[in-house]
Amino acid sequence: MPAEQVTVQDLSESELLARIFPRLNSSPGVLLGPGDDAALVAAPDGRTLISIDTQTQDQDFRLQWNNGYRTSGYDVGWKAAAQNLSDINAMGGTATSLVVSLTMPPSTPVDWVEAFADGLTAAIVELGAPDCSVAGGDLGRGRELAVTVAVVGTLAGMAPVLRSGARPGDVAAVAGTLGRAAAGWALLESDVPLEKLDEELRGFVGNQCRPLPPLAAGPLAARAGATAMLDISDGLLRDGARLATASGAVLDFDPIALKKYAAVLEPAAALLGADAMAWVLGGGEDHGLLATFPAGIQLPQGFTAIGSVQAVVEPPGSGVRIAGHAADTVGWDHFAD
């Protein structure tokens, strides 16, 4: 680290906050933002959606990856915002505010923290959440970087779309991408140097470090009559099993429909000797949506049919199948080895 590099231990908390606050956007949903003991946010229809997520260094991201990529504060800020905005999207709502807690070692460069704030704001604006901004948060000292974000959202008068509403005969559909973030993770963990990756492969790295949840899709699905929905954060099969279990049904995925998602990943799979379909089925963190819709309706823009909802038959299994055959619920598990 250059000798002139300013770190957070060189500034007071007030001085550090003075560098962060100007980098945050404002929105009409935040009536009183950073600066007081608590924020004041609007609840336009009298109800509030709320969710929370945490990213921890070396568990959810690395500062230095095997292939040479260095995770920036901008990356971490973007991803922290994106995954929380996606949770509100999955309920059919829109986000109105974020509260952010950042824990960091005293040796953390101040420009890393400034980039983190820039990433938060950029994700909110560029992903399409114009009514959302950072309402406040907390700074803390710790041995490693950890980011916790709580998000608040509104349903704008609509009913929430739950995981538990899928019924036999419904169409299963997805919005967003499948497997791209998993391919990016594999590339980051590989021994293939970053500079050897072409633009397409670097795009997969981008999907991992700066995911692109389809924020317009959630409210569109709700208005179209989606019967169930969730954010695909831990993999299509694992999250599909959660939706199926909540609904007391079975999701049967069409392998032909899924092949087009795997085809996009073949260059990365060939380079690494991996299975592209495994990324589609088990890879998380693209933060797309899995939703079910009544048969016969026109799917809203951005959604592609990938299967159907079936009644439970014995043995019930995991709740997910591929072409009628039981499938293991591979995917991300925070507490697995």
286 labeled binding residue: no
CB 283 within 8 A of CB 185: yes
Whether residue 72 is annotated as binding a ligand: the answer is no
Please, what is the average pLDDT of the chain?
94
pLDDT-wise least confident of 74-83, 285-294, 296-305, 311-320: 311-320
How is the beta sheet containing 49-56 ordered, strand by strand?
49-56, 146-154, 94-104, 133-141
Report angle CA 259, 82, 253 to the nearest 5 degrees: 25
Residue 151, pLDDT above cutoff 50: yes
| Residue 285, annotated as binding a ligand | yes
pLDDT interval class at 315 (50, 70, 90): low
Mean pLDDT of 110-117: 97
**8 A C-beta contact, residue 284 and residue 174:** no
Determine how β-strand 250-253 pairs with β-strand 320-322. Answer: parallel
Calculate mean pLDDT across residues 41-63. Answer: 94
How far does Cα 322 stand from its chain's mean position? 24
How far CA 53 is from CA of 82, 99, 116, 149, 335, in Å, comes to 10, 11, 16, 6, 15
Is residue 53 annotated as involved in ligand binding?
Answer: yes
pLDDT over threshold 60, residue 3: no
Has 191 been labeled as part of a binding site?
Answer: no
Model confidence pLDDT, tens digit, residues 295-307: 999 999 999 999 9
Alpha helices in 101-198 (DSSP H): 110-126, 180-189
Tokens of 234: 């831990």
Decide if pLDDT at 334 tops 80. no
How large is the average pLDDT for residues 135-142? 96
Task: Give the pLDDT confidence of 152-200 residue by residue, as tens digits.
Answer: 999 999 999 999 999 999 999 999 999 999 999 999 999 999 999 999 9
Interval 2-18 mean pLDDT:
88
Q: Is 58 assigned to a binding site?
A: no
234 known ligand binder = yes
Provide the pLDDT confidence category of residue 72 given band limits of 50, 70 and 90. very high
Dihedral pair phi/psi, residue 126, rounded to 5°: -75, -25
Give the pLDDT band of residue 327 (cuts 50, 70, 90): confident
User: Which pTM was predicted?
Assistant: 0.93
Is it the case that residue 66 has pLDDT exceeding 90? yes
Question: What is the spatial distance between Cα 118 and Cα 73, in angstroms, rounded to a whole number?
Answer: 8
The C-alpha atoms of residue 64 and residue 186 are separated, in whole angstroms, by: 14
Query: Could you give the 3-state DSSP secondary structure of residue 47?
Result: coil
Check the annotation: does 15 bind a ligand. Answer: no
Closest CA to 260 of 291, 304, 299: 304
Categorize the per-residue pLDDT at 318 as very low, low, confident or very high, splitting at 50, 70 and 90.
Answer: low
pLDDT of 153: 97
Q: What is the pLDDT averaged over residues 50-72? A: 95
Q: Is the pLDDT of residue 331 over 60?
A: no
Q: 138 a known binding residue? A: yes
Residue range 254-271, pLDDT digits in tens: 999 999 999 999 999 999
Cα–Cα distance for residue pair 240/50, rounded to 1 Å: 22
Q: Between 201 and 284, where is the model more confident?
A: 201
Instruction: Calculate mean pLDDT across residues 289-298.
Output: 97
Among 306, 206, 323, smallest CA distance to 261 is for 306
Largest CA distance in the chain: 67
Q: What is the pLDDT of residue 333?
A: 55
Is 86 annotated as a binding-site member? no
Three-state DSSP at 329 gives coil
What is the pLDDT at residue 316?
57
Q: Is 333 within any annotated ligand binding site?
A: no
Residue 335's pLDDT band, with cuts at 50, 70 and 90, is very low
pLDDT at 4: 75
pLDDT confidence bin for 214, thresholds 50/70/90: very high
Instruction: Give pLDDT, residue 337.
Output: 47
